[in-house]
Amino acid sequence: MPASSRFICLASLLLPSLAIAQTQPTAYTITQVNGAMGAPMTSTVYRDGTKALVDMGFPAQTAGGAAHHTLTLYDLKEGTSYSWDPVSKPIACSAGSFSGDWGDPFATTAELSDGIAKGTLKAAGTATVNGFPVKVFAGDTPQAQMKVWLDEKDGLVIRAMMGAPGAAMQTLVDVTKASFVPPAASLFKLPAECASVHRAPTEAEKIAAETGDTAANYVNALYGPGSKNACSVVLRVLQAGSMTPITKRLQVAIDTTYNMDSPTPPHYEFGMGTDGSQTFAGGGIREITNQLHDGMVRIDNPPAYFNLGVNLMKPGTGAGMGLIYRQCFAPTTVLLYVVKDAQDPSQGGDWLWAKSGKFSTVPAQ
């Protein structure tokens, strides 16, 4: 978690709804000491437009241990990042995705500006901190006290401190250097070792790849809570990629009596036939394969959550049960089980509610 994240969380004790007071610069080099996570850590943030590099220094964790630092390159437009330790040999590079706070020093200013405007933080004089002329603001609530040194010229919080009422305050952030000249372009080039490293796809990207459709049309059925409004459900089993219906050698079992708050949860038992067929026992589980038509089965008015299983019959494989949270986007809402590989059912599949788009309509039978 970037150090500013904890600062923002603490600042919310003092500040109500917040807004940015001015347009933030998008080209800068800022060095700051962050104390929000315990032992002070020094970081330098280089930014030029949609590219940002954060050089984070970490103190030695044990006596005699060595301090170290990591570099993280952010693509703010794409929401991707690469991290590496420039000292390690060979360089080990990791890739990922992010959203929200990435460590922007101006995130602190954004959190404070509205409180200053509304008087939650009151003017408390002027000063010079680390060579920056600043205005001082202070405020307190029954839960916390805060003091902020703001460089109004650049819209940057130079120092921020917070503590419990009557106690010594902790320095959360302390800016020691700031330049608003665009950093050298060479800073934003990945090391050669990162060229072959690829981040794991996001859930939205996985859904788009599986369905050939925008992920906005779908909701993961394994995420709760279930919708309060009721509906009937039509389950469809489709092959990922082609999204062609799978209509043969299917079994479907359901338990609409499952209660996650029960002190004695059901124990399911699945028997396996030599042809890949299963038997189902335990709890309120019942097989509804006889209701399948063209690879679809209708489930009338299921509860807010229920256990559901689809078995693509193949010798040596089988299927368990998935906890499905009901989501009702229409009186009859389509639930998709998108199978990764119909020839290898052991790879599983994804449960998706089709809330809009071409798969949200029940096909004519």
CA distance 92 to 162: 37
- Residue 136 has a pLDDT of 93
CA distance 212 to 218: 12
- Residue 260 has a pLDDT of 92
Average pLDDT along the chain, 365 residues, taken 10 residues at a time: 42 36 82 77 94 86 68 93 89 88 82 68 91 91 84 90 86 93 96 88 92 96 96 97 95 96 92 93 96 94 97 89 96 97 93 96 85
CA distance 245 to 239: 6
| Residue in 145, 152, 149 with CA at minimum distance from that of residue 125 | 149
Question: Cα-Cα-Cα-Cα dihedral of 105, 74, 218, 226, to 10°?
Answer: -40
Buried b vs exposed e over 51-72: b needs ≥16 C-beta within 10 Å?
bbbbbbbeeeeeeeeeeeebbb
* Tokens (6 digits) for 102: 């990435």
- Residue 110 has a pLDDT of 67
CA distance 46 to 186: 11
CA distance 186 to 192: 13
- Residue 63 has a pLDDT of 60
- Residue 67 has a pLDDT of 65
The model's pTM is 0.63
Beta strand segments in 166-294, E: 170-179, 218-220, 232-239, 250-255, 269-272, 278-281, 286-287
- Residue 312 has a pLDDT of 95
| Domains annotated on the chain, with CATH | 3-194 (2.50.20), 203-360 (no CATH)
Contact between residue 359 and residue 244 where contact means Cβ atoms under 8 Å apart: no
- Residue 9 has a pLDDT of 42
- Residue 11 has a pLDDT of 42
- Residue 307 has a pLDDT of 97
* Tokens (6 digits) for 353: 């509610």
- Residue 320 has a pLDDT of 84
- Residue 229 has a pLDDT of 95
